[in-house]
Amino acid sequence: MHAVTYELIKECSRTGARLGKLHTPHGTFDTPMFMPVGTQATVKTISPEELYDMGSQVILSNTYHLFLRPGEALVKKAGGLHKFMNYNRGMLTDSGGFQVFSLGAMRKITEEGVTFRSHIDGSKKFLSPEIATRVQEDLGADIAMAFDECIPYPADFEYAKRSTNMTARWAKRCLDTHNSETQSMFGIVQGGMYPELRRMSVEQLGELDFAGYGIGGLSVGEPKDIMYDMLSKTTVYMDKQKARYLMGVGTPDCIMEAVSLGVDMFDCVFPTRVARNGTAMTETGRLVVRNATYAEDFLPIEEGCNCYTCRNFSRAYIRHLFKAEEIFALRLLTIHNLHFLLRFTTKIREAIANDTFPEFKASFFENYRDK
Amino acid sequence: MHAVTYELIKECSRTGARLGKLHTPHGTFDTPMFMPVGTQATVKTISPEELYDMGSQVILSNTYHLFLRPGEALVKKAGGLHKFMNYNRGMLTDSGGFQVFSLGAMRKITEEGVTFRSHIDGSKKFLSPEIATRVQEDLGADIAMAFDECIPYPADFEYAKRSTNMTARWAKRCLDTHNSETQSMFGIVQGGMYPELRRMSVEQLGELDFAGYGIGGLSVGEPKDIMYDMLSKTTVYMDKQKARYLMGVGTPDCIMEAVSLGVDMFDCVFPTRVARNGTAMTETGRLVVRNATYAEDFLPIEEGCNCYTCRNFSRAYIRHLFKAEEIFALRLLTIHNLHFLLRFTTKIREAIANDTFPEFKASFFENYRDK
């Protein structure tokens, strides 16, 4: 029995969208869900209480960053990541795979694992399936991710095939190492932009007893229609009784399309990162509150939004804070953007429950400018 | 009748300390009080609700900064500073005098006012008693401050005398201009480090009908014993029925000494500024949480403290956030430091009420390291 299990509640009668529940040691959460990213054991600028208030369920932290600083030993000593950062709902750690591959020239991949240079002090470090698994056990999130290779885009077929096979071997090494009663591990499907490799990866990982599955190697630079095409040729082969997590995707349009293709979980730094640049997310698209057009605009960021920011502050005030380089500005837009995306996934769940998801999707795309 | 009035509740039987109430259009507040500084219409990193939670009463904003950005016209259009920044308790704006004099070579003083260059874009600006008063009326805080010249330290007697006389003439011009039913103005006592000029300034300003009095030109580089000496030779001549506000002072030892000399109100960027540098204030002195010694310390910042930060997070976690340059760290220490200082003034008020202020003061200095 896994510590974390997925329960399929309802399937959309006209699309691949599904309503589900994710049962974890820190509570049961609803899918489809968006997971706010707390890279370094904090969702940048905001508090756990602000996350609770906006309906946050599972949040994500990064093994790569915490392995380097403060180190998994300290987090373990603190009683695990939940206690260290004082967040009492669900938590997932990625494996560090994506981050080390992003280091480019600063890392070297072998069958054994990845040698890389720390972005903090340049020191030499090593992560392998075994180490990434043990580090995640020490961090103690509800869900750990298998250590994989993220195939760059574009990549030729032979490279993608070799890499996908290695990811499968690494996945087995992760599972063989993993030993926790309170944490479950998800495998990560790769396969590049090759449908047959995607299917092969699903089948290879499906033979291993993971609690759920990440879908990796998408949203890595390819056009959106290729991403949707690959996604459709991946989820169709996946076990319906396990959670499907599309890694690193978090814009409303991509979430909407991916949900209709049967995805349950999402994470992305997009909402928090653009917030810190002065960009708010709304149902019609982005609103750049730094722009001069909002200098004397006393409306809230998004009319009808009931987030803390929109209930209490005007565009003019938030713009002033950005111009004056005040930190409170970053927090106010972070709250709005995460609230927006969490509310967005709540509406998706309601539409699936009411069997109106296709209509909800059509109406969303009619209003949304930033495709 | 002034919009803001001071009510003397009780005098310490053995020192000059006094317990009082400040009645304002936004509520009645207790003195002695510390006023958190919200320079640019925000107390850096924290929310109005966090200020309420820690018992904040009156906060301060800076006319100089708001005059330059976003401009008093915008704040007026927003409905005033309270509404603009969504803070519903007391508010005070300084006159901008101290800031423009701090610009040094970038400003020129005449009888008419001060010409200066904006620190934002270098453009030429002008502030006078009349303009500073009208700007503060537009900002709409409960208390406005007269536009004064802050005498540098050291300054010769002749300069100090000329300047103190000009501050008195400027004070009259401010009062002649000031015209608000919902805002009161405080004069500012100057006089440099010359007791006879301090007394002269108190008497000059005392002839004008201000609602209260700031004490300016102290804590400008002089040794602390000179500051206390000047303070004692200032407050002794001041009207007991009006509030006394020592401007720019906010360390616990200085507050304690100044309270015992009859001061009612304080403001300082110290607690919020050192917080953002990783320094916490405690009853025994500063704690530099960035230091390696706290790397595996899972105690709260200050044992026994019931602030949000101390109830929820460890020194080790906050140190990690500082090392990782996470914004949440700045907020957590800002909350602790302001809570510390507000609780400190609450304890001072309780001691005066119980007639144990001298004992409380002695016991404080026994434990406090940072004199």
- Beta-carbon separation of B65 and A295 below 8 A: no
User: CA of B41: which chain A residue's CA is closest?
Assistant: A321
- Beta-carbon separation of B317 and A48 below 8 A: no
Distance CA A95, CA A216 (A): 12
User: CA of B297: which chain A residue's CA is closest?
Assistant: A78
For residue B325, what are its two tokens? Answer: 């340059």
- Beta-carbon separation of B42 and A77 below 8 A: no
Q: Is the pLDDT of residue B103 over 80?
A: yes
pTM confidence score: 0.98
Query: Which pLDDT score, from 0 to 100, does residue A44 have?
Result: 98
Q: Contact at 8 Å (CB) between B140 and B81? A: yes
Interface test with A, best of B75, B77, B326 (most A CBs within 10 A): B326
Catalytic residue numbers of B read 94, 267
Inter-axis angle of helices B224-235 and B252-260, nearest 10: 30
Q: Is the pLDDT of residue B243 over 80?
A: yes
Query: Which pLDDT score, from 0 to 100, does residue B106 have?
Result: 86
Q: Is the pLDDT of residue B371 over 90?
A: no
User: CA of A77: which chain B residue's CA is closest?
Assistant: B296
Q: Which residues contact B201 (CB under 8 A, 6 or more apart)?
A: B164, B167, B168, B189, B190, B191, B234
- The beta-carbon contacts of B2-5 under 8 Å, at least 24 apart in sequence, are B2/B184, B2/B211, B3/B142, B3/B180, B3/B181, B3/B182, B3/B183, B3/B184, B3/B211, B4/B142, B4/B143, B4/B183, B4/B184, B4/B211, B4/B212, B5/B184, B5/B211
Q: Is the pLDDT of residue B251 over 90?
A: yes
CB < 8 Å to B74, chain A: 295-296, 316, 320
CB < 8 Å to B69, chain A: 320, 323-324
CB < 8 Å to B77, chain A: 296, 298
Half-sphere exposure for B59 (CA within 13 Å, toward CB): 29
Catalytic residue numbers of A read 94, 267
Q: Which residues contact A85 (CB under 8 A, 6 or more apart)?
A: A38, A41, A42, A48, A61, B317
**Interface ipTM above 0.95:** yes
Q: Over the Cα atoms of chain B, what is R_g?
A: 20
Interface test with A, best of B320, B326, B331, B335 (most A CBs within 10 A): B320
Query: Which pLDDT score, from 0 to 100, does residue A104 have?
Result: 84
In the 8-state DSSP scheme, what is residue B44?
A: T
Q: Which residues contact B313 (CB under 8 A, 6 or more apart)?
A: A86, B300, B332
Intervals of chain A under pLDDT 70 = none
Q: Which residues contact B289 (CB under 8 A, 6 or more apart)?
A: B278, B279, B280, B301, B315, B318, B319, B322, B333
pLDDT by residue (tens digit) across A247-290? 999 999 999 999 999 999 999 999 999 999 999 999 999 999 99
For residue A47, what are its two tokens? Answer: 């508090």
Q: B254-286 b/e with 16+ CB inside 10 Å = b?
A: bbbbbbbbbbbbbbbbbbbebbbebbbbbbeee
Q: Contact at 8 Å (CB) between A175 and A146? A: yes
Q: What is the mean pLDDT of residues B280-285?
A: 97
Distance CA A258, CA A67 (A): 31
- Beta-carbon separation of A321 and B78 below 8 A: no
- Beta-carbon separation of A328 and B46 below 8 A: yes
- Beta-carbon separation of B69 and A323 below 8 A: yes
